[in-house]
Chains A and B, each alone.
Chain A
Amino acid sequence: MKSKSGMATIAAATAALALILGLAACGGGGGSVGGGNAGEVTVAKGGTPSGSVLISNWPGYIDPGANGSVANFDKETGVKTDYKEDVNDNVVFFNKLKPQLDQGSSGGRSLFVVTDWMAKRMWDLGYLEQLNHDDLPTVFQNILPQFEKSTIDPDRKFMIPWQGGQTGIWVDTSKAPEIDSVSDLFDPKYKGKVEMLTEMRDTVPLVLQSEGINVADATKDDWLAAIDKLREARDSGQIRRFTGNEYTEDMTSGNIVAALGWSGDGSLIGNENAEWRRPTDGCDTFFDQMVIPVGAPNTPAALAFMNYAYRPEVAANITDYVQYVTPVNGVRPILQKEDPKVANDPKIFPTEQEIAPCSEDPDPPGSPQDVADVEAAFEEVVSG
């Protein structure tokens, strides 16, 4: 009898444990949502940097190693920087952090980098601290004139450009050298060998342009129609999967012939035949921004890091390694001496005319409900 109930207990405990494991795998919601501290704005405190600081950025977005920019910043200032590459997708990063931001905490982060539209969303929800320009002398001394103003943040109250680039097509030239447009990616010839991005604001505008639609004039229905086109391509097996930065892995291991991707990701792709191309039927630019979240500890160190990243010699090292577009003046002359190949690369130093017609990671049109509808439709497609 005793052993009988013992076995039952074990079985019940087993079932309960397994259920919890399953639940943990499912993830869940929780905590209070909404509110934020919209209305009252905290200004990030300046001062002499010291102590330790946690910075979150996208993978492959800075020169790494013992002589890298982070290590040099630490040597120079005595700050201990914990630099994490844990931003893979704007919306995912936002939603992971949101419960903490709602409570006025940044999860220990003093600075992170998100794309401009996401910085704006966070600012509107009261999740960011305001920047005092007096604390950022190097930034405003060296910022390129075209970045001094931003349509999203006219007075640069909350975001400082980190780096940016273009969304286009990475092509494996040994397998499909002929691909040069977004329409090509829908060609059945490449069935199961192409990938698109889970970032809706990159993928959908490019598809819209490939259909001949001007993104600025696109309606909600246009967005939904483009999303339908993506759904058909997914159902037919044309699109292998939707990814964040992981397309670089599939490009490296030769699983795909082409993918929508970001112009500076070359350092993440171990495939010498991979080539980034600006699509012939559209283009998209983005700019990622440094922001200081509410509740950020050690803001003096975060502000010092911003100033540091805007020194031309530091920015030149970063650009040379990362190969994205820099907002810092004086980088190109340095690279013309040190690495002319990078200095003359039109992806890294594009002209104004090249960038002018591109869409800039736009929000879908309409009210927040309309935006949510479009995002829901896109999510349905992306997660099969």
Chain B
Amino acid sequence: MRKRQRSATGLGRRLIPYGLLAPGTIWLIVFFVVPMYFMAEMSLRSGVPNTPEGFTFNWAFSNYSDALAGRGEQIVRTFYYAGTATILALLIAYPLAYTIALKVNPRWRLPLLFAVIAPFFTTYLIRTVAWETILADDSPIVDLLKSLQIIPDDGRVLATSGAVIAGLTYNFLPFMILPIYASLERIDTSLIEAAKDLYASARHAFLRVTLPLTMPGVIAGVLLTFIPASGDYVNAAFLGGANNTMIGNKIQSTYLQQSDYPKAAALSFLMMAAVLAVVFIYIRLAGTEAFVGSEEEVR
């Protein structure tokens, strides 16, 4: 009797991890696997849009090559925009996070972090539309840029690549700042002191100690910025012009304007594969060690 009871507890214990995993697993199945299945099935259908027959499933793999035809420009542009925005976000976020985490009086950390996040209490869409007004051709900001000769007198900001990249950088900046801040904040500052005691210059201490210790934050930030930025279509739709569309806009218009659901689904899959490939290469280059390993060094 006693023994049996013990084994039941043992079984229960062994089940606990699965129980803890269950909510996440169910969430993933319902909101990821199921839609993916329908999308995959749709991407292999063919037919004529807007007919009563609709699209029928017939392993139409040609959708994938058709989807790419004529869209190379948007794909290159997408990675160019998302990549530039990610680099800019990193260049802005790191010094900012560094200052907040290590340089200012700890009393100021919370208010400063709040200042970083506060604009993001407003919805993403409203903020982007607001930029449309700020960057309008006759706006004071654009006038100022013109008088400073940063843009030519007949130039404009809105409806250019610059506006789209700026919008992406702005909108995804907190996703870069917060992980970097979190990793900087956890650094044991005595390690930096130790480096300095061992005659490392400030530059060396940063490059050899601080930066490697914060690599997981940088990598998480880069992924969190780059992946949604490459799938974004809101910035290109509002801040871009007719020649600044990204692949997200293409997918949207293939689906909503052209009613070609199979091709839109195929394009979505290709986009996902491309992003996965880029992320995979990135992690390979950054090194899995930097990705997961530095925590030990802190201990």
A-B contact pairs, 10 of them (CB 8 A): A8-B292, A27-B255, A28-B39, A29-B39, A33-B55, A34-B55, A35-B52, A124-B52, A237-B243, A241-B242
* Pair A26/B271 contact, Cβ less than 8 Å: yes
Shortest C-beta distance, B12 to chain A (Å), equals: 22
* Pair B264/A29 contact, Cβ less than 8 Å: yes
- Chain B residue numbers with a CB within 8 Å of A21 are 227-228, 231
Whole-angstrom CA separation of A7 from B182 in the bound complex: 12
**Contacts A34-B52, A34-B56 given; does A379 touch B254 at CB 8 Å:** yes
Q: Does A14 sit at the interface, judged by CB under 8 A?
A: yes
B residues within 8 Å of A by Cβ?
Answer: 28, 31-32, 35, 38-39, 42-43, 45, 47-56, 70, 74, 132-133, 136-139, 156, 158-159, 179, 216, 219-220, 223-224, 227-228, 230-234, 240-245, 247-262, 264-265, 268, 271-272, 275-276, 279, 291-293, 295-296, 299
* Pair B271/A15 contact, Cβ less than 8 Å: no
Shortest C-beta distance, A294 to chain B (Å), equals: 14
Q: Digitize A246-269: 1 where CB-to-B-CB distance is under 8 Å, 0 elsewhere.
A: 000100011100000000000000
* Pair B48/A372 contact, Cβ less than 8 Å: yes
Binds B, one of A41-49, A89-97, A104-112, A314-322: A89-97
Shortest C-beta distance, B32 to chain A (Å), equals: 6
* Pair B296/A4 contact, Cβ less than 8 Å: yes
Q: Does A192 sit at the interface, judged by CB under 8 A?
A: yes
* Pair A192/B257 contact, Cβ less than 8 Å: no
A residues within 8 Å of B by Cβ?
Answer: 3-8, 10-11, 14-31, 33-36, 38, 89, 91-92, 94-96, 98, 121, 124-126, 192, 198, 234-235, 237, 239-242, 249, 253-255, 368-369, 371-372, 375-376, 378-380, 382-384
Q: Main SS of chain A's interface residues?
A: helix
- Chain A residue numbers with a CB within 8 Å of B272 are 19, 22-23, 26
* Pair A95/B255 contact, Cβ less than 8 Å: yes
Whole-angstrom CA separation of A20 from B227 in the bound complex: 9
* Pair B232/A25 contact, Cβ less than 8 Å: yes
* Pair B43/A29 contact, Cβ less than 8 Å: yes
* Pair B224/A14 contact, Cβ less than 8 Å: yes
Q: Report which of A11, A30, A384 forms a contact with B42, defined as CB distance below 8 A.
A: A30
**Contacts A8-B292, A31-B38 given; does A384 touch B52 at CB 8 Å:** no
Whole-angstrom CA separation of A10 from B217 in the bound complex: 11
Shortest C-beta distance, B45 to chain A (Å), equals: 8
Whole-angstrom CA separation of A30 from B244 in the bound complex: 28
Shortest C-beta distance, B278 to chain A (Å), equals: 11
- Chain A residue numbers with a CB within 8 Å of B216 are 7, 11
* Pair A371/B220 contact, Cβ less than 8 Å: no
- Chain A residue numbers with a CB within 8 Å of B50 are 121, 125, 368, 371-372
* Pair A234/B137 contact, Cβ less than 8 Å: no
Shortest C-beta distance, A168 to chain B (Å), equals: 21
* Pair B231/A22 contact, Cβ less than 8 Å: yes
- Chain A residue numbers with a CB within 8 Å of B32 are 20
Q: Report which of B47, B259, B268 forms a contact with A91, defined as CB distance below 8 A.
A: B259
Shortest C-beta distance, A116 to chain B (Å), equals: 16
Whole-angstrom CA separation of A23 from B251 in the bound complex: 11
* Pair B257/A91 contact, Cβ less than 8 Å: yes
* Pair A25/B233 contact, Cβ less than 8 Å: yes
Q: Report which of B156, B219, B223 forms a contact with A192, defined as CB distance below 8 A.
A: B156
* Pair A249/B132 contact, Cβ less than 8 Å: yes
Whole-angstrom CA separation of A81 from B248 in the bound complex: 35
- Chain A residue numbers with a CB within 8 Å of B279 are 15
- Chain A residue numbers with a CB within 8 Å of B132 are 249, 253
Whole-angstrom CA separation of A330 from B25 in the bound complex: 63
* Pair B257/A198 contact, Cβ less than 8 Å: yes
Whole-angstrom CA separation of A242 from B254 in the bound complex: 15
Given contacts A11-B216, A15-B227, 16 further A-B contacts (CB under 8 A): A16-B28, A22-B230, A28-B38, A29-B43, A29-B264, A29-B268, A30-B38, A30-B39, A91-B259, A95-B257, A240-B159, A240-B242, A249-B132, A254-B137, A372-B48, A372-B49
Whole-angstrom CA separation of A382 from B224 in the bound complex: 30
* Pair A11/B292 contact, Cβ less than 8 Å: yes
* Pair A27/B52 contact, Cβ less than 8 Å: no
**Residue of B139, B224, B258, B265 ringed by the most chain A CB atoms within 10 A:** B258
Residue of B with least CB distance to A13: B24
Whole-angstrom CA separation of A8 from B258 in the bound complex: 42
Residue of A with least CB distance to B232: A25
Whole-angstrom CA separation of A23 from B248 in the bound complex: 9
Shortest C-beta distance, A344 to chain B (Å), equals: 33
Which 10 residue pairs of A and B lie closest in terms of their CB atoms, listed nearest first? A34-B54, A22-B231, A384-B245, A30-B38, A18-B227, A383-B253, A29-B265, A29-B42, A25-B231, A253-B136
* Pair A34/B53 contact, Cβ less than 8 Å: yes
- Chain B residue numbers with a CB within 8 Å of A30 are 35, 38-39, 42, 265
